[in-house]
Amino acid sequence: MPEEIIGSCAVKRLNILDPQGNADENLLPPLNGQDIRRLYELLVLSRTFDGRALALQREGRLGTYPSILGQEAAQVGSAFALEKSDWVFPSFREMGMHITLGYPMHLLYQYWAGDERGLATPTGLNILPICVAVGTHIPHAVGAAMAASYRGDRNAVVCYFGDGATSKGDFHEGLNMAGVFRAPVVFICQNNQWAISVPFDRQTAAPSLAQKAWGYGFEGIQVDGNDIFAVYRATRTALEKARNGGGPTFIECHTYRIADHTTADDASRYRPPEEVADWREKDPILRLRRFMTQRHLWDEAYERHVQEEATAAVDEAVHRAESAPKPAATEIFDYTNAELSPRQQRQRKEVG
């Protein structure tokens, strides 16, 4: 008997806005001029926040910090599609998402300076703690989504991670389980081509990450991650599907880590400068600015205003972070358990 084809996987890529700022009119999401300006302002604010973080780290005022430079559209664009009540399980390189959802920037600075109170999400936001262990939060997102569907909540769950995380067992087990139980979860992978010094082709022999979703029985899509309209549109579609019982979606944001892995890294030791220069041409902010210029949404005066506002907001956040009162050392015991054991109580006394 001849072999027959029992399935085949088509890998879609979505691109709406090209590096010159030209957009595909048919695919543009329904955003008005005000929305587009808001997106631009969030991109600028995210980049300003990030640049300041790098400067603070050099001055010893922040700990090791992972820059988001070049990945702002993937973060702002996806978060802009979320509702505040949605649950977000971040990894460690999504500060643009935090800022877009209104997470206070001073808390982010506090966290990266080593003050874990910075992870105390303000009420009204459902952003879970930053997960530095690669990919281990993927099962949590699936579980929260399963809980949401059992409880009949309308919330969707979003989980962010990098290309490196897709090599983890947590990724494979987590996506498999999400598929089996049709959990209302959207997986957003920022494929920034590098996992510290390991390039994309060492994480997988597959040409895309998006196609992996096919193996778990749900849809995957690659989007130009530096194209904020494509990211926004794909996320919105996936969230609607999740809310309507359509199950999970995997979105691969094809982007690039312009900066070093963290402030403890020197990427020039392992990657060619031409590659970085190439991707700088595809900068997400530049391309949105070009688009806005065409539509008369941008001029020099507006730019000055946006920059000034961003700088002022970041100044204020740094000030607030650095003037936060010091916690008591005994607080290290406060959240280890709902009740402390007698031994912990004794140790707490000794510390205090």
Partner 1 sequence: MPEMTYRDALNLALKEEMRRDPSIVVWGEDVALYEGSFKVSRGLLAEFGEERVLDTPISENTIIGVAVGAAMGGLRPVAELMTVNFALLAMDQIIDHMTKIRYMFGGQVNLPMVIRAPGGGGSQLAAQHSQSLETYFMHAPGMRVAYPATPADAKGLLKTAIRDNNPVMFLEHELLYNSKGEVPDDPESLVPFGKCDVKRSGTDITIVAYARMTILALQAAEELAKENISCEVVDLRTLAPLDAETFVASVKKTGRAVVVEECWKTCGLGGEIATRIYDGCFDSLRAPVRRVSGLDVPMPYSRKLEKLCIPQVADIVAVVKETMAAKY
Ligand X SMILES: Cc1ncc(C[n+]2csc(CCOP(=O)(O)OP(=O)(O)O)c2C)c(N)n1
- Rounded Cα distance, 81 and 76, in Å: 9
Query: Residue 195 Cβ, how far from Mg ion at the closest point, in Å?
Result: 5
Identify what 86 binds: Mg ion, ligand X, partner 1, none; CB under 5 to 8 Å per kind: none
Which of the stretches 55-63, 114-122, 241-249, 302-310 binds partner 1 when contact is defined by CB under 8 A? 114-122
Q: Which is nearer to partner 1, 300 or 339 (CB)?
A: 339
User: Known catalytic residue: 257?
Assistant: yes
For 51, 114, 329, 337, the CA distances from 341, given in Å and listed in that order, are 44, 26, 18, 8
* 66 is a contact residue toward Mg ion (CB under 5 A): no
Residue with tokens 């539509």: 295
User: Known catalytic residue: 261?
Assistant: yes
Q: Please give the sequence-ordered ranges of beta strands (E in DSSP) within the chain, or none if there are none.
A: 12-14, 87-89, 126-127, 157-162, 185-191, 194-195, 198-199, 219-224, 249-254
Number of residues that bind partner 1 (CB under 8 A): 43
Please give the structure tokens belonging to residue 134. 């690669």
> Binding mask 180-219 vs Mg ion (x if CB under 5 A, - otherwise)?
------------x--x------------------------
> Binding mask 132-171 vs partner 1 (x if CB under 8 A, - otherwise)?
-x--xxxxxxxxxxxxx-xx-----------------xx-
Q: Provide, for the chain, the percentages of residues in helix, strand and coil under a 3-state DSSP scheme, each rounded to the nearest 5.
A: 45, 10, 40
H or E element that contains 288:
helix 284-294
Identify what 148 binds: ligand X, Mg ion, partner 1, none; CB under 5 to 8 Å per kind: partner 1
Query: With left for phi above 0 and alpha for psi between -120 and 50, is residue 61 left, alpha or beta?
Result: alpha
Residues between 75 and 94 with contacts to Mg ion, criterion CB under 5 A = none
- Rounded Cα distance, 41 and 36, in Å: 9
- Rounded Cα distance, 287 and 228, in Å: 9
* 162 is a contact residue toward ligand X (CB under 6 A): yes
Task: Specify the DSSP class assigned to residue 163.
Answer: T
Of 100, 192, 235, 237, the one binding ligand X (CB under 6 A) is 192
* 288 is a contact residue toward partner 1 (CB under 8 A): no
* 257 is a contact residue toward ligand X (CB under 6 A): yes
Query: What is the maximum alpha-carbon separation in the chain?
Result: 78
* Residues designated catalytic: 257, 261, 270
Binding site for ligand X (CB under 6 A): 93, 132-134, 161-165, 192, 194-196, 257, 261
Binding site for partner 1 (CB under 8 A): 87, 89, 116-117, 119-121, 128-129, 133, 136-148, 150-151, 169-170, 173-174, 176-177, 180-181, 334-339, 341-344
